[in-house]
Chains A and B, each alone.
Chain A
Amino acid sequence: MQSHLLSISDLSKEEAIQILDTAEELRKISDGPMKKLPTLRGRTVVNLFYEDSTRTRISFESAAKRLSADVINFSAKGSSVSKGESLKDTAQTLQAIGADAVIIRHGASGAAQRLADSGWISASVINAGDGTHEHPTQALLDAFTIRSHFPDFAADFTGLRVAIVGDILHSRVARSNVLLLAKMGASVTLVAPPTLVPVGAEKWPVKISYDLDSILPDIDVVMMLRVQQERMTNFFFPSAREYSRAFGLTNSRLALLQPKTIVMHPGPMNRGLEISAESADSTKSVVLEQVANGVLVRMAVLYTLLGGLPLNAGTERKS
């Protein structure tokens, strides 16, 4: 395994499953009396966030702290040379203070890869969302969540049917999920208005549909994406109401789902736009499980990349 996680394409299927299995082990340990493991004691993990994302930041922070790493939160505003310190200077600063891992959230697609490839820094780089490119730990935590609801598919998703619904064009969550779900063997359908499907997606390993109602009765997982209100100003759709009518998970659409089907959302949700309050709060919704699993999966990623002590080191000491 490489020392960075920039894209799902960095991972083989086996490596992805290894991360999920590691997260499973961490769940068992976390359910025990000792929540904090000494695995990354003395290691420094930097949360380098160029975009506000409290959820993702505290998830990574919590993951690193549960592994006993020292965590530095670095909130950098202004991403271009003209607006302030360049990515290069920030990276070299983090190198100088001895960061072992840098978790980067950035508004520019490819920023995490630039950081990893440029030679500015020797730390492991973890992509926590870069522009409209990828968000690989989100895809891993989603796969982990799916697996926990469909145990027959633990090592392979062949036969599992997943719909990803909404703004595919601007979604890093969708890109990472498509890559990982396809790698794991799932059958993926993207559902969106044609304006929000990227040109080129016809070559992705997915089916594309514009008709949510025809898709919903025959799927195992429905993943709703957040829709940004500002997309309306660029003519992607005429109004929030029209979007919601055609592509929202409304109460009536919730009733189309099979009993086993789960509803996912990466958050934060626009209740009443892409998902109704009833759908978000229904027993089918696994949104809060996704949040909890996010910490476990990010622990597994940090553990895997930083190659800390064996997982059972803490439990052994306890016993």
Chain B
Amino acid sequence: MKILVRNAQLVNGTKTDVLIIDEKIAAIEIGIQDSADLILDVNGALLLPGLVDLHTHLREPGREDSETVLSGSRSAVAGGYTALSAMANTTPVADTAGVVEQVFRLGQEAGLCDVFPIGAVTQDLAGLQLAEIGAMAESIAKVRIFSDDGKCVYDPLVMRRALEYVKSFDGIIAQHAQEPRLTESAQMNEGYVSSLLGLTGWPAIAEEAIIARDILLAEHVKSRLHICHLTTAGGVELVRWAKSRGVQVTAEVTPHHLLLTDEAVIGYDPVFKVNPPLRTNDDVMALRAGLADGTIDIVATDHAPHPTEDKESEWQSAAFGMIGLETALSVVVKSMIETGLMSWSDLVDRMSIAPARIAGYADHGQSIAVGNVANLIVVDPDATWRVDRMMTVSKSKNTPFHGMTLPARIRHTIFRGKLVLNDGEVVGESNA
């Protein structure tokens, strides 16, 4: 298979053609003359490395009514992702080699992007006993990231042991930082808006207390810590401080926390219910500054599909979570590039290069160079589009951006040299 991408613009401004043969980039130059199987004239659009998500809920096994590995893969390539990291909070929990191998295999069968399973830190996410971390690391899924996401590894001794244990294979513990006692029955950010709405508050310090503790633990045992979905100004400060001390800590922020505030909760529409919750405008500004200066390493979606009935209820009985794969790039463009805080080159770093480096996904987040695996996307930076929840590729509709007009559109996604998104349409499923 040969694909010729004509008239692309690289992130450094270079205009070029790119020839892809089988899995790899074969040539990069102006005016390539070659009899390709497929010629994509992209008319000056941006050619970027495929995006890499370190935080995706695919719901399979267990909740196939909201998403499957296949439907999540489709959603991913529609959003420009060529690699996903499937969170462990499935049913059953991904706490054994059997489950992570199943998810890995389902990803390969779907064949649209790489699906890398994340393993649970503790058995059944209960926080009491370590899951079979070594077996998951040695499985064909070669798990390197472990997380109880959705729940916090709150016991400091369990967290310490987990951090130490994964050192032998350069693993990483991704923490959902939420002090459980300070967030019992919590419904939204604790502050002025929660005081008016009469909803139980989820205080910023419940996140920051765990971040601070885990930074100290990671420093003490010299292990790698990753902070999932950072949401508070205080959390940004803590990570900045940790990095200045040389602690091996990395952090992610979600697109929705870069754009939305707790004022979205006024009206009680559960589509805005998410954990950790939407915070204040001051927090949003601190998160943007932290992402721009590299304190926050990456953007991760926390794509969390839920069926309609789990969101179509009164606020307190609705599920937490939002889908995000298909809107992530556009939301980051809106919050970081249109505001002048970041360049496209920074965006590529935060959404592709840095996440691939943190997770060790060798074929992803690579520069566009001859010989590298062709995980590529074509983005029209000048297009705008209106988000319509009825048009999602994901099985679920719970997008908080419904009705918003967003900048930048993914036109094509190429995964390992195969066209998987063609002009916005998912194509080439091997298991369709």
Contact = CB atoms under 8 A, between A and B. Distances in A.
Interface string B270-283: 00000000000000
A272 interface: no
**Most chain A beta-carbon contacts within 10 A, residue among B191, B199, B268:** B268
B198 interface: yes
B315 A200 contact: no
Interface stretch (A38-46, A104-112, A279-287): A104-112
Given A199-B191, A200-B190, A86 B313 contact: yes
A114 interface: yes
A305 B240 CA distance: 55
B317 A81 contact: yes
B190 A86 contact: no
B313 A81 contact: yes
B316 A200 contact: no
Contacts of A109: 187, 197-199, 268, 315-316
A262 to B, nearest CB: 26
A200 B191 contact: yes
B312 interface: yes
A86 B312 contact: yes
Where chain A touches its partner, the secondary structure class is loop
B314 interface: yes
Interface string B185-199: 001001111111111
A110 B197 contact: yes
Contact of B317 (A80, A134, A198, A200): A80
A200 B265 CA distance: 15
B309 to A, nearest CB: 6
A133 B198 contact: yes
B355 interface: no
A106 B268 CA distance: 14
A131 B317 contact: no
Contacts of B309: 81, 86
Given A175-B196, A200-B190, A88 B316 contact: no
Interface of B: 187, 190-201, 203, 267-269, 309-310, 312-317
Interface of A: 79-82, 86-88, 106, 108-111, 113-114, 117-118, 130-134, 172, 175, 198-201, 203-204
B278 to A, nearest CB: 15
B268 A114 contact: yes
Contacts of B198: 109-110, 130-134, 172, 175
23 contacts: A80-B317, A81-B310, A82-B317, A86-B309, A108-B314, A108-B316, A110-B268, A110-B316, A111-B314, A111-B315, A114-B268, A114-B314, A114-B315, A130-B198, A132-B200, A133-B199, A172-B198, A199-B190, A199-B191, A199-B195, A199-B201, A200-B192, A200-B201
Nearest to A199: B190
A110 B194 contact: no
A87 B267 CA distance: 16
A271 B30 CA distance: 87
A79 B317 contact: yes
B267 A113 contact: yes
Contacts of A108: 314-317
Given A82-B317, A111-B315, A200-B196, 15 more contacts: A79-B314, A80-B313, A81-B317, A86-B313, A108-B316, A109-B315, A110-B197, A111-B314, A113-B267, A114-B315, A131-B199, A133-B198, A199-B190, A200-B193, A201-B195
B314 A110 contact: yes
A81 B307 CA distance: 12
3 shortest interchain CB distances as A-B pairs: A110-B268, A200-B195, A133-B198
A127 to B, nearest CB: 11
